[in-house]
Amino acid sequence: MAWDFQTEPEFQKKLDWVENFCKEKVEPLDHVFPYAVRSPDPVVKAYVRELQQEVKDQGLWAIFLDEELGGPGFGQLKLGLLNEVIGRYSGAPQMFGAAAPDTGNMEMLAAYGTEEQKKRWLEPLLNQEMFSAYSMTEPQGGSDPNLFRTTAVRDGDEWVINGEKWFTSAGRVADILFVMCTNGMFVVPRETPGVEIQPQPRNHNHIIYNDVRVPADHLLGPEDGAKVLAQRRLGGGRIHHAMRTIAQCTLAFDMMCERALSRESHGKIIGEHQMVQEKIAESYAKLKMLRLYVLETAWKMDQTSSAETRTDIAAVKFTMARVLREISFDALHIHGSLGTTDLTPLQAMYAGAPTMGLADGADEVHKSTVARRVLKDYRPHEGYFPREFIPYKKEEAWEKIQPVLDARPELRESAENYKKYLAKRGR
């Protein structure tokens, strides 16, 4: 029987290196040169490349990809352990070649792209010579592919795309857009005529595709493969979001505990007040349970596939948003008025929790998915009462033990005495 919660020593050394690298080099970069990876300054860009080369020298670049595609092939579990560290720092995912939405888009290219498509888009994305966005959500239907209206119509050697996408994160700065249509997924260069990026919202862009023409070979995967590709694309994103959420929850919890030991109120540190202790205890338990569930789900994905792990991925998805909201709120509350300002990461963390509950599909949808899939493994009971109805269990018990009682008269006598005794007590 294999039952092990330990990280293998060699990979732990890698995690220790990552933690030190992020503290000493990535975190300073976040505050001195925000969004350094996208900086047009050649001096800053050169420094970023130096740091990224250190990551590559450690064999930790694009950890989510297999070796033949440029990654180390570590799998989802090790990716989860890595994200527990890098998820604390806003710029770290880019420094490790593991930032969304590029990660999910690269996975799609790796799974469905032709060799020419991989050379044209996967390699530049992997090397951060270009950046991408995932254009899926629509105003009328959210992320439900059954309600999409954006179409792609074949016209000779081209596809003509028409439609409207509401929530395309970083669409205005991406080089290429992965656009989900009713009949498939298409790669669209952002500068293509007819791509109209609206001024609002600023970061999660509203984009109108008005007679956008792309070559026929810009179709990714099979024609009419929209639903399959959508599920594949979003499945990986959900578990990766959960991995990074653990890091955010851990950061909030660490801040909560530090503050509890540093702030005084009514003659004692606030960590000695029972209401504060309750928040710390509850947050500790929630964080531990979420972490174990995410890592178990990642392990299952490594052993099987994302399709076979769909129930757990969906459950992790709606659980992470709730835990992030609750822990970040308690941490914010313990920090008092300081927690409500933008001078700590807590306000942004708490404000971002609803987004995590909507990204890659609303939590309510995933709860329904989990319930439907779980119920498939159960059957209704017969009659008015459940199988665990105590009178039924007593009757079954006497039937099961009857052969033993027949063979052992003294035990039967004891059983009958017990029966009489329990009857007197109304049992």
pLDDT tens digits, 247-258: 999 999 999 999
Per-residue model confidence (pLDDT) at position 403? 93
Quote the CA–CA distance of 132 and 125 in Å, as a whole number.
8
Please, which residues bridge with residue 180 across strands?
185
Do residue 237 and residue 365 come from a single domain?
A: yes
Do residue 26 and residue 69 come from a single domain?
A: yes
Per-residue model confidence (pLDDT) at position 74? 86
The b-or-e profile of 169-202 (16+ CB within 10 A means b, else e) is bbbbebebbbbbbbbbbbbbebeeeebebeeeee
- In eight-state DSSP terms, residue 359 is T
Do residue 150 and residue 195 come from a single domain?
A: yes
Boundary-marking domain end, from 113, 145, 171: 113
Quote the CA–CA distance of 177 and 195 in Å, as a whole number.
10
pLDDT class for 227, splitting at 50, 70, 90? confident
Per-residue model confidence (pLDDT) at position 372? 94
Domain membership of residue 33 (yes or no) is yes
106: closest CA among 125, 128, 91, 134? 125
Residue 143 has pLDDT above 70, yes or no: no
Do residue 266 and residue 338 come from a single domain?
A: yes
Boundary-marking domain end, from 164, 196, 220: 220
Boundary-marking domain end, from 179, 201, 220: 220
Domain membership of residue 127 (yes or no) is no
Do residue 327 and residue 241 come from a single domain?
A: yes
- The whole domain housing 399 covers 390-424
Residue 244 has pLDDT above 70, yes or no: yes
The answer to which of 8-22, 65-79, 322-336 has the lowest mean pLDDT is: 65-79
Identify the helix (H) or strand (E) that includes residue 264. strand 264-265
C-alpha separations of 269 from 148, 276, 397 in Å: 55, 10, 57
Q: Across all residues in the chain, what is the average pLDDT? A: 91
Do residue 211 and residue 268 come from a single domain?
A: no
Retrieve residue 39's tokens.
């900086």
| Total number of domains constituting the chain | 4
Do residue 95 and residue 157 come from a single domain?
A: no
Domain membership of residue 381 (yes or no) is no
Q: What is the mean pLDDT of residues 113-141?
A: 92
Domain membership of residue 55 (yes or no) is yes
Domain membership of residue 124 (yes or no) is no
CATH of residue 154's domain is 2.40.110.10
pLDDT tens digits, 76-89: 899 899 999 999 99
Domain membership of residue 385 (yes or no) is no
Quote the CA–CA distance of 193 and 20 in Å, as a whole number.
46
Retrieve residue 405's tokens.
């009682």
Domain membership of residue 125 (yes or no) is no
Do residue 408 and residue 355 come from a single domain?
A: no
Residue 169 has pLDDT above 80, yes or no: yes
What one-letter code names the amino acid at 261? L
Residue 142 has pLDDT above 80, yes or no: no
Domain membership of residue 323 (yes or no) is yes
Per-residue model confidence (pLDDT) at position 46? 94
Quote the CA–CA distance of 402 and 380 in Å, as a whole number.
28
Quote the CA–CA distance of 423 and 417 in Å, as a whole number.
10
Do residue 236 and residue 353 come from a single domain?
A: yes
The answer to which of 71-75, 114-118, 231-235 has the lowest mean pLDDT is: 231-235
111: closest CA among 181, 178, 29? 178
Per-residue model confidence (pLDDT) at position 282? 98
Provide the angle, in degrees to the nearest 10, between the axes of the packed helices 310-334 and 363-375.
Answer: 140
Do residue 367 and residue 261 come from a single domain?
A: yes
Retrieve residue 124's tokens.
């530049």
pLDDT tens digits, 5-56: 889 999 999 999 999 999 999 999 999 998 888 888 999 999 999 999 999 9
Residue 145 has pLDDT above 70, yes or no: yes
pLDDT tens digits, 348-380: 999 989 888 887 778 888 899 999 999 999 999
pLDDT class for 206, splitting at 50, 70, 90? very high
Quote the CA–CA distance of 271 and 250 in Å, as a whole number.
18
Quote the CA–CA distance of 267 and 249 in Å, as a whole number.
30
CATH of residue 248's domain is 1.20.140.10
Per-residue model confidence (pLDDT) at position 371? 94
Residue 70 has pLDDT above 80, yes or no: no
CATH of residue 18's domain is 1.10.540.10
Residue 382 has pLDDT above 80, yes or no: yes
Do residue 108 and residue 166 come from a single domain?
A: no
Do residue 411 and residue 348 come from a single domain?
A: no
Quote the CA–CA distance of 125 and 41 in Å, as a whole number.
20
Per-residue model confidence (pLDDT) at position 236? 66
Quote the CA–CA distance of 345 and 340 in Å, as a whole number.
10
Length of the chain: 427
pLDDT tens digits, 278-314: 999 999 999 999 999 999 999 999 898 877 888 999 9
Per-residue model confidence (pLDDT) at position 2? 67
Q: What is the mean pLDDT of residues 305-328?
A: 92
Entry pTM: 0.86
